[in-house]
């Protein structure tokens, strides 16, 4: 039965250095709350969209990682709906699938199943790298492995992310399947990526954005991170000619993740012959949604996905 049927809408003492890291993280978490609220709104579930929430897609020991699913009402195409895995931002340390998923659920009206995922977040003495990338891969594999149950076309799965989520979306595009253990495991490869104001070169980001060092250190677990670690976690390092098409969207006045981060990634994609497009949003800072200054990015994202998936993606379903 399809998954959407009938559904709507004696502790150890801490040393001084550990306490210092907790205080730093606490201040960062407060700042993250502001950024996440700026990045997305809290809309109600759009008309014509069905939802199933808190679906566990990965179990690792006692850790359970979940996603929320949104899809159009009505019968799916014979081959299934295309799917879009969406990844929230928040400096690799904050944010959640629920708020971000509700902001992206509008894309389900365009004939797409949207899977909004949680992933490992950074904490003092618990870096999130590389578990967060592994979580994102496993989310794609879960969608592909459960394609029949959730009425999805396993050949048409793309990814979209904002800020830190955009960084992970870029890595899925450039490194999606490089950990695949064997032929019996579904592929984590995506057919396209939409990246909103995501970092691509972490070493350069540390030079360009003074406020980035604490986030990057928590994320990678190094003080400061080594060049090798920065390179391994930078999408720019992994661009090859076989990568799927990518749509990059970035504000021209972004002080946290400068526009140059998307520009250098676009240059690398061009040099490798990867189809791509860079949309510069004039005057936009960090953390905008799908309608910055009246510009309809939703339509432009849909057009990109149509170019990736072909004519099987319908127009708006209302």
The 10s digit of each residue's pLDDT in 231-271 is 999 999 999 999 999 999 999 999 999 999 999 999 999 99
Residue 288 CA to residue 244 CA, distance in Å, equals 25
> In this predicted structure, what is the pLDDT of residue 224?
86
What is the rounded average pLDDT of the residues 212-233? 93
What residues have CB less than 8 Å from 106, skipping those under 6 apart? 43, 46, 49, 290, 298
Give residue 172's pLDDT band: very low, low, confident or very high (50, 70, 90). Answer: very high
Give residue 150's pLDDT band: very low, low, confident or very high (50, 70, 90). Answer: very high
What is the DSSP code (8-state) at residue 106? Answer: G
Q: pLDDT (tens digit, 9 = 90+) per residue, 74-113?
A: 999 999 999 999 999 999 999 999 999 999 999 999 999 9
Coil, strand or helix: which one is 253? coil
Give residue 5's pLDDT band: very low, low, confident or very high (50, 70, 90). Answer: very low
> In this predicted structure, what is the pLDDT of residue 184?
85
Say whether pLDDT at 64 is over 60.
yes
Residue 170 CA to residue 265 CA, distance in Å, equals 10
Give residue 222's pLDDT band: very low, low, confident or very high (50, 70, 90). Answer: confident
> In this predicted structure, what is the pLDDT of residue 11?
35
What is the rounded average pLDDT of the residues 298-306? 97
Residue 147 CA to residue 124 CA, distance in Å, equals 37
DSSP 124-170: TTB--TTHHHHHHHHHHHHHHHTTTTTTEEEEEEEEEEETHHHHHHH
> In this predicted structure, what is the pLDDT of residue 313?
52
Query: What value does the mean pLDDT of the chain take?
Result: 87
What is the rounded average pLDDT of the residues 14-33? 45
Q: Is the dihedral of CA 52, 58, 62, 63 positive or negative?
A: negative
- Contact (CB, 8 A) for 236 and 266: no
> In this predicted structure, what is the pLDDT of residue 31?
43
Calculate what percentage of the chain has a pLDDT beyond 70.
Answer: 84
Cα-Cα-Cα-Cα torsion 251, 257, 262, 267, nearest 10 degrees, comes to 130
Among the residue ranges 19-28, 81-90, 171-180, 293-302, the one predicted with the least confidence is 19-28
Give residue 311's pLDDT band: very low, low, confident or very high (50, 70, 90). Answer: low
Say whether pLDDT at 181 is over 80.
no
Say whether pLDDT at 194 is over 60.
yes
Burial, 286: exposed, middle or buried (Cβ in 10 Å; 0-12, 13-18, 19+)? buried
């Amino acid at each position: 039965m399809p998954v959407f049927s009938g559904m709507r809408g004696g502790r150890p003492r801490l040393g001084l250095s550990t306490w210092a890291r907790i205080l730093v993280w606490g201040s960062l978490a407060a700042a993250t709350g502001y950024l996440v609220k700026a990045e997305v709104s809290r809309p109600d579930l759009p008309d014509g969209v069905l939802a199933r929430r808190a679906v566990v897609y990965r179990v690792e020991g006692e850790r359970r990682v979940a996603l929320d699913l949104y899809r159009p009402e009505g019968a799916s195409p014979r081959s299934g709906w295309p799917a879009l895995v969406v990844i929230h931002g928040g400096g690799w340390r904050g944010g959640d699938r629920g708020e971000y998923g509700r902001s992206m659920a509008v894309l389900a009206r365009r004939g797409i199943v949207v899977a909004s995922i949680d992933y490992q977040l950074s904490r003092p003495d618990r870096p999130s790298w590389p578990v967060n990338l592994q979580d994102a891969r496993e989310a794609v594999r879960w969608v592909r492995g459960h394609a029949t149950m959730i009425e999805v076309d396993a050949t048409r799965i793309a990814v979209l992310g904002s800020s830190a989520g955009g960084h992970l979306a870029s890595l899925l595009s450039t490194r999606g399947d490089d950990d695949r253990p064997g032929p019996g495991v579904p592929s984590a490869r995506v057919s396209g990526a939409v990246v909103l104001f995501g970092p691509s070169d972490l070493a350069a980001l540390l030079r360009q954005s003074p406020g980035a060092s604490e986030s990057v250190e928590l994320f990678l677990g190094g003080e400061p991170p080594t060049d090798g670690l920065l390179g391994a976690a930078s999408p720019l390092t992994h661009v090859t000619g076989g990568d799927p098409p990518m749509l990059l969207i970035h504000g021209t006045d972004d002080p946290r993740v400068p526009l140059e981060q998307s520009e250098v990634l676009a240059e690398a994609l061009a040099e490798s012959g990867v189809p791509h497009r860079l949309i510069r949003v004039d005057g936009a800072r960090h953390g905008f949604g799908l309608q910055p200054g009246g510009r309809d990015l939703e339509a432009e994202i849909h057009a990109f996905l149509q170019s990736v998936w072909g004519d099987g993606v319908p127009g708006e379903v209302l």
